[in-house]
Structure 1
Amino acid sequence: MFQEPDYSENLSLMLSEALHDIGVNENIVMRRRRHFMLRETMGNITSRLTDQKETNYFLGSQSEGTTTKGLDSDTDVLNCRHNYNIIQDWSEWEHGKFNYLMIQDENTTPGYCFLQLLKDDEPLPATVNHNVHHFTDRRGRILYKNTMINNFLVGAVQHGPSIAQQGQPGLCDLDRVFAFPCKSWPQSASGLSERQGIGRWPTQKMIRYAASTDCFVVPTGSKVSEYPELEWRISSILAERCLMNNLNITQIRCYVLLKMILKSFLNSQDEVNVSSFMCKTVLLHCIKKREPSIWKDYNLLTCLTFCLLELHSCIQNDSCSHFIIPENNLMAGQFTVTETKNELLKNICELIQNDRQQLLSIDIDDLGHRLQVKLYRVPHGAYYFPSSFEIYEEVFTWVYIDIATIISVEHMLILKHLHNENIRTMKHHIVKLMNFSDNGNRLEHIAFKFLAPFLFTTYGSILASSSIAENNQVSHQELICLSAGLNSDIASSKLKLASVFYSTGDMEKAELILRNTEQQYISLPVLPLCRCWIKVKPSVTAEFMRVCSEQNEDCIKHITAMCVRFIQKEINCVPHELQYEMFRSTQGDMIHRLEYKDCWMDWAVVDSLPFLYFLQYKIYSHLQRHQAQQQALSKLIRTIETDKNLKHRETALNILGQCMEQENRPQKAFNCYLLSLQQRARNNAAYIHICKLLSGLVVNQ
């Protein structure tokens, strides 16, 4: 790659433009980062609200913005369990936690440690081993095995310290790493400030922030360890995130190119010889060793060459020092087959010597074709690939959809926690949530704005349900709570308020809310969203994508319709036809449920638009407006038949079946229930409706 300056600069600029076009630019990088930080903040607020002793951190390429659609990067999550306490000094022992002493001695691989179990009532080593996940060594120390990870998620695939959960179509796979927090940084990672390179990188500000982050241990041993089941890797992942978030766009493009080269030329589909984390470490070492002024777009090719040469040296010497914990050699035991190592070295040399040819052959995100169009001015019609605007629009669309989906997830987790709580506890949670808005940072304020309306609506609905049971009325205070949640999304909270009015017999107010909600719904490109049970890529319209590309994340409230959720404490606010959904599971069905994600099956949950038309049908029946009632029924049927994005289609079919029963069309009703069972064979209230329908027919005969 060491050609004449004009050649190198021209190719570098064209390559930078091509990477900009596929989404490796400041705008999309910052959007991806903000998205995952907001997602992380919402999840951790929920954890604190529900008294969970854990914190989740989003890490890796997706959260750094160092990825593209073609790279298909996993979403990495570090799950920190705060009921564990990893100490290096006896003074750090804490009562009420699982305390372990970090041990680094002649038997541990550099960058790794053993965890010695301590007593739970005083800061002394434990002497009795009662747990299969502990091992007593020759010195009498009770050490924690890293194989405990196998208990966390059944059915997932383990890769080192992480558990991989396969994503559904259109969604990224999830790599979840379970970690325990260290009370203080290990001595091996404390010298970051002494390792500044040319140009004083990392800066003192970055070093101070990195040193203030938490350090962890994760359950995996070194490849060269004599005790692979007993070792735990020391992780400074939050400090690494700080460094990555301070890279400039040329450095990010260089890293993305390295990952494309890995995927295209160095790693096979079946075997990963060099990991993206190794490439990240190589890049950080190169940044430290070089003048900051070289990291410009017109030098991209030269910067890439430096990184490839550094990678070549690491492979040749079987040595790649972790950037923050340099005693940890990332390539220790990596190449057990000499032929593999030699082949890698040969391929890297070819990449350096034949830069243009190799870059033009990268298929990921059509990078090679895009570069060919720019270099040789090939007509755009010669190749088809998405424009930079189309990529920008798609990234923003799926970022917003993911934020809305996470809102749905966090709402469900909060409801699960509150399902068996009393009114006073729920009020306490609302106060806690409001504190995040008043005293939190900017992201916590935004998270409050998204989560609070759903909680206000549920709280108001629970209060209203109690009042309806007593005197069939709703107080002014309860209406204030319900009204405070009306801006949760385009429809769901408004429909709950309409359902409250319907339940008290105030049909006029309920009809007005429904009419206004329908007008808003049909005038905008609204997308139904829900994460109760299914993770499939929704079908979106061009108009929906346009709105996402033109507006900030606040647009989520106006172009998404969450499912409507009633927990059992809200039962008196629920039409009786929908109450059956709260009792959908028989004893035989329960064994086919997963406790951690199927809690919604004890609630009444329905998609917004079918529920809107169902309520209209019932209300127009009470108001004796027959024509409007039949129009609402037709709209309900059409929505069920045509809306591909419905997530609770079985519930929509169940309420449609009951409408058909009211229309005295039992065969149509029976067909609706059968179709519902095709959608969900178990945990389905359709069985109740079929039994009732057949029983009624027998009695009538």
Structure 2
Amino acid sequence: MESILSQKAYLYLQFEIGTPAEVNIRRQIRDIEEIILNSATSTVKLLFNRYPTYFRVATGSEREGFNFKESDSDFLYWWTDHKVICHPRQENLYNKETLIMMEYCDDSPGSVFLKVGKWSRWRFVRDSYVRFGKGTYMSSLKYRESTRHLVVRDSQLHGPCASGQLSSGVCYDNAHSLKCDFFPEIASSWIKHCETKGWPDSTVLQYARRTGCNFVPIGRKNSPNHDYEWRISFNLIELNCVRSMNHVQFTCYGLFKIFLNKVIKPLLDDKELLCSYFLKTIMFYMIQEKEGSFWSPENLLHCFWNCFKRLIFCVYKSNLPNFFIQENNMFQGKIFGSSREELLEKLYLLYNMGYSCLRQCIFQQKFITYPYVERNHKVECTLFTEIYHRVGFCTESAIPPYLEVYMITIKKLLERKSMTHVQLMAVRQNICTIFIHLAFLLLDYEKTSNICKSGDLLEVAVKHGFLSDNVFYGMYLCRKSRFMEALSFAKKIKNELNQSHVLYLHGFGDMREFMTYGKDKSWNTKLREVVVVDIGLSSAVCYLHELGIEKHVARVENKHFHVPPYVLTLFIIVLCNVRLGNRTGYYYTVCELKNILDKDVGRFVPIKLKNISWQILGICQQLSGDHAGAFESYKASLIYQGSCMLTRATYIRMLTVISDLQMKHTHFSSTKDQRPKNTIKKEKN
């Protein structure tokens, strides 16, 4: 019975966590995203010399290969021209770098003091310098304060990180660290221990020796020198350890994280006694202790239960040794006294429930109750979704000098010829996005020069991008005042978006039709012919003059916004009909758009984009003089709080409607007063 339950659990968790192919796709795309971003941003920072060049690495669940909805975006930053050394003789290995000397804390294993060697030329680094003992040291507390606003304004301190929530609703944790290129001597026994146990393998251990470690600005709790201590971080090595797990181990780790978030934390009223890092450490120890045959799909629940028992044992002992520095008890100063008793009581309660405690996971009730249903398209959907979401990282590349730097970086990557097919697809879509933005930027230059050919760039981008990228070409024709062509092209796009085999990545589409249509087609062909995504509009680019207010507000608030492609297509048709004087075509299209917004269940207009969609309907009505209808549409837009967050633009639109009505009333009154007196007398008689 346990074996059957384990197999059902394993199959169901492929939907929540992903199959091996899906996890591999996520990792490949995020790897290439990281390479491009770090190469390009470092070059731009170096050119302008405004800030030190930094290196950014994504950490946390997303980087490991998970795709949980509640996952935060975790990033680790460090400055490439600041280096921490372990011994004075290592100074000879560096030339221009700012050097910082590491000193171990005798009473806090896993923590160090950082003594200033060569002073930094950057103010925010120098602000952390303090006199401590007989020298000048870097205060972890002051460093957190001086760096927390560097990436995102108004970030709040949370542990060693600058944390907050983006306008999209995604929470983030940015840790500003300092890099050491040498593996610390205090953790040297870990390598020998791993060689004895046989996990992780030699490639990970070699990577550990080459990579070294980072120091994050946080000290041990209850330490008298808490404000001056820095924690040794092995984030990069841990990421490679997770990637060396087999898929059953990775699934067990994912189930452990789900269990923590959905079952344990609610019982503790979301008190932060346990974190996913503790679970990761337990998983590492369990993998070393258990043989490879232990980790199998039919044994998944037993694997999970062993990890859970290990967690209870560690809480009971108030001791969880760090995986790399075993003298460092991570529970010290955190799980003790009454908090330990409360946690232990809740864990025992779950333990006595047996496997049935998994039923408390909201979405895990299904795998015990319902049979597994195979979905062949799942890997393809993951591929297209990852490419779409990760291509957004190059949106700012439309602004010079980012453009040239990004293109040079991509060219170097292509010359390497070491990318996988998945990474090539991601890079190609990246180039298409850059070409689209560049084409609109070049429109202004074409008025004074015949050299620029923005249309050629856009045609290339549309030919190789998503099906919905065709909408950009329709907007381009409108910008060029080629309204007859734009109208014909927009109607063609509308028909294509209405096809039953089209797959909308926000969750709608007939999967049978999609699979039948794309049965013998490659991923590239499917992406071009049947995959539809929301249209991302950069605040730095003018796509349509009629969206000028939205662009301006987005630019001021440093945001981008998205529009459903079907709504944008109807908007283009309305614009063309208004410019061509075709009132019948305009009226029919506006009625169709209003009908979709009233009755659509999410196929053409996702709920999160209802606000911008109603706003576009209002713009259409305002253009034709229907001010009352426009005002009502803008009011409807305010009801929805979606990802666009363009409430300010909506209020401005409503003010323009009121202004237009006042001008119309004033014009009518002045016209009436200017009539001949004899006409007025006749009306009175």
TM-score w.r.t. structure 2 length?
Answer: 0.77
Shift of 1:131: 5.1
Q: Per the alignment, in what secondary structure is the counterpart of residue 251 of structure 1? A: helix
Q: CA–CA distance in 2 between the matches of 1:693 and 1:491? A: 40
Matched with 2:224 is: 226
Q: CA–CA distance in 2 between the matches of 1:505 and 1:658? A: 19
Shift of 1:429: 3.7
Q: 5 Å matches for 1:616-695?
A: 616-621=573-578, 626-641=583-598, 642=600, 644-645=605-606, 656-657=617-618, 659-661=620-622, 663-672=624-633, 675=636, 680-684=646-650, 685-686=652-653, 687-688=655-656, 690-695=658-663
1:139 lines up with 2:111 in the alignment: no
Shift of 1:178: 3.1
Matched with 2:683 is: none
Residue 434 and residue 547 in structure 1: after superposition, are their counterparts in 2 closer, same or farther (change >3 A)?
Answer: farther
Shift of 1:368: 8.3
Shift of 1:139: 0.8
Shift of 1:175: 3.8
1:18-45 deviation per Cα after TM superposition (whole angstroms, max 9, x unaligned): 2332338995355245325524532552
Preserved CA contact (<8 Å) 2:28 2:423? no
1:509 lines up with 2:485 in the alignment: yes
Q: CA–CA distance in 2 between the matches of 1:332 and 1:546? A: 57
Matched with 1:335 is: 335
Q: CA–CA distance in 2 between the matches of 1:581 and 1:347? A: 50
Preserved CA contact (<8 Å) 1:360 1:368? no
Match for 1:435: what amino acid? Answer: K
Shift of 1:65: 4.9
Shift of 1:271: 3.2
Match of 2:432 among 447, 453, 458: 453
Match of 1:149 among 130, 144, 147: 144
Preserved CA contact (<8 Å) 1:32 1:65? yes
Q: Per the alignment, in what secondary structure is the counterpart of residue 389 of structure 1? A: coil
Preserved CA contact (<8 Å) 2:503 2:514? no
Residue 90 and residue 583 in structure 1: after superposition, are their counterparts in 2 closer, same or farther (change >3 A)?
Answer: same
Matched with 1:533 is: none
Matched with 2:546 is: 577
Match of 1:244 among 238, 242, 245: 242
Q: CA–CA distance in 2 between the matches of 1:483 and 1:583? A: 27
Instruction: Give % identity.
Output: 18
Q: CA–CA distance in 1 between the matches of 2:579 and 2:312? A: 78
Residue 173 and residue 31 in structure 1: after superposition, are their counterparts in 2 closer, same or farther (change >3 A)?
Answer: farther
Matched with 1:211 is: 209
Residue 396 and residue 362 in structure 1: after superposition, are their counterparts in 2 closer, same or farther (change >3 A)?
Answer: farther
Shift of 1:183: 2.7
Match for 1:195: what amino acid? Answer: H
1:641-689 deviation per Cα after TM superposition (whole angstroms, max 9, x unaligned): 4454276666655654454355443433444455556775424551345
Shift of 1:351: 7.4
Shift of 1:331: 2.6
Q: Per the alignment, in what secondary structure is the counterpart of residue 682 of structure 1? A: helix
Shift of 1:322: 1.9
Q: CA–CA distance in 1 between the matches of 2:476 and 2:287? A: 61
Residue 98 and residue 563 in structure 1: after superposition, are their counterparts in 2 closer, same or farther (change >3 A)?
Answer: farther
Match of 1:435 among 405, 412, 427: 412
Matched with 1:6 is: none
Preserved CA contact (<8 Å) 2:113 2:229? yes
Q: CA–CA distance in 1 between the matches of 2:255 and 2:360? A: 10
Shift of 1:466: 1.5
Residue 22 and residue 145 in structure 1: after superposition, are their counterparts in 2 closer, same or farther (change >3 A)?
Answer: closer
Unpaired segments of 5 or more residues in structure 1?
1-9, 374-379, 530-537
Q: CA–CA distance in 1 between the matches of 2:615 and 2:365? A: 52
1:143-190 deviation per Cα after TM superposition (whole angstroms, max 9, x unaligned): 232353343356555442234445899x77544433332232222234
Matched with 2:11 is: 20
Q: CA–CA distance in 1 between the matches of 2:511 and 2:34? A: 26
Between 1:14-23 and 1:659-668, the stretch displaced more is 659-668
Q: 5 Å matches for 1:583-598?
A: 583=552, 594=557, 597-598=558-559
Residue 476 and residue 202 in structure 1: after superposition, are their counterparts in 2 closer, same or farther (change >3 A)?
Answer: closer
Matched with 1:483 is: 459
Match of 1:563 among 511, 524, 535: 535
Matched with 2:672 is: none
1:491-537 deviation per Cα after TM superposition (whole angstroms, max 9, x unaligned): 664333333333434334323322221122111576888xxxxxxxx
Q: Per the alignment, in what secondary structure is the counterpart of residue 511 of structure 1? A: helix
Q: CA–CA distance in 2 between the matches of 1:689 and 1:527? A: 37
Shift of 1:234: 1.0
1:192-223 deviation per Cα after TM superposition (whole angstroms, max 9, x unaligned): 43113666222223322343445211121112
Match for 1:229: what amino acid? Answer: D
Q: Per the alignment, in what secondary structure is the counterpart of residue 136 of structure 1? A: strand
Preserved CA contact (<8 Å) 2:397 2:406? no
Shift of 1:455: 0.7
Q: Per the alignment, in what secondary structure is the counterpart of residue 324 of structure 1? A: coil
Matched with 1:161 is: 160
1:541 lines up with 2:539 in the alignment: no
Q: Per the alignment, in what secondary structure is the counterpart of residue 523 of structure 1? A: coil
Q: 5 Å matches for 1:381-400?
A: 388-389=372-373
Q: CA–CA distance in 1 between the matches of 2:569 and 2:186? A: 61
Between 1:651-660 and 1:130-139, the stretch displaced more is 651-660
Q: CA–CA distance in 1 between the matches of 2:124 and 2:469? A: 53
Residue 301 and residue 527 in structure 1: after superposition, are their counterparts in 2 closer, same or farther (change >3 A)?
Answer: closer
TM-score w.r.t. structure 1 length?
Answer: 0.75
1:573-616 deviation per Cα after TM superposition (whole angstroms, max 9, x unaligned): x554334544559xxxx9xx54xx33x49xxx855333322322
Q: CA–CA distance in 2 between the matches of 1:313 and 1:217? A: 30
Q: Per the alignment, in what secondary structure is the counterpart of residue 57 of structure 1? A: strand
1:414-446 deviation per Cα after TM superposition (whole angstroms, max 9, x unaligned): 34xx1xx37xx6345434333333336336533
Between 1:660-669 and 1:218-227, the stretch displaced more is 660-669
Match for 1:522: what amino acid? Answer: N
Q: CA–CA distance in 2 between the matches of 1:345 and 1:662? A: 65
1:622-645 deviation per Cα after TM superposition (whole angstroms, max 9, x unaligned): 556554343333333334544542
1:327-380 deviation per Cα after TM superposition (whole angstroms, max 9, x unaligned): 43223333331x55467667777877x6xx411233244698668x6xxxxxx5
Preserved CA contact (<8 Å) 2:564 2:605? no
Residue 277 and residue 632 in structure 1: after superposition, are their counterparts in 2 closer, same or farther (change >3 A)?
Answer: same
Matched with 1:414 is: 397
Matched with 1:5 is: none
Preserved CA contact (<8 Å) 2:435 2:457? yes
Q: CA–CA distance in 2 between the matches of 1:580 and 1:168? A: 19
Preserved CA contact (<8 Å) 1:103 1:116? yes
Q: Per the alignment, in what secondary structure is the counterpart of residue 485 of structure 1? A: helix
Matched with 1:521 is: 497
Q: CA–CA distance in 2 between the matches of 1:299 and 1:658? A: 59
Residue 623 and residue 667 in structure 1: after superposition, are their counterparts in 2 closer, same or farther (change >3 A)?
Answer: closer
Shift of 1:546: 8.7
Q: Per the alignment, in what secondary structure is the counterpart of residue 459 of structure 1? A: helix
Preserved CA contact (<8 Å) 2:570 2:593? yes
Preserved CA contact (<8 Å) 2:98 2:120? no
Q: CA–CA distance in 2 between the matches of 1:496 and 1:335? A: 56
1:387-426 deviation per Cα after TM superposition (whole angstroms, max 9, x unaligned): 5338998898678546523433x243334xx1xx37xx63
Preserved CA contact (<8 Å) 1:33 1:63? no
Matched with 2:64 is: 64
Q: CA–CA distance in 2 between the matches of 1:158 and 1:663? A: 50
Q: CA–CA distance in 1 between the matches of 2:409 and 2:216? A: 31
Match of 1:609 among 566, 577, 587: 566
Matched with 1:193 is: 191
Q: CA–CA distance in 2 between the matches of 1:562 and 1:172? A: 18
Preserved CA contact (<8 Å) 1:610 1:636? yes
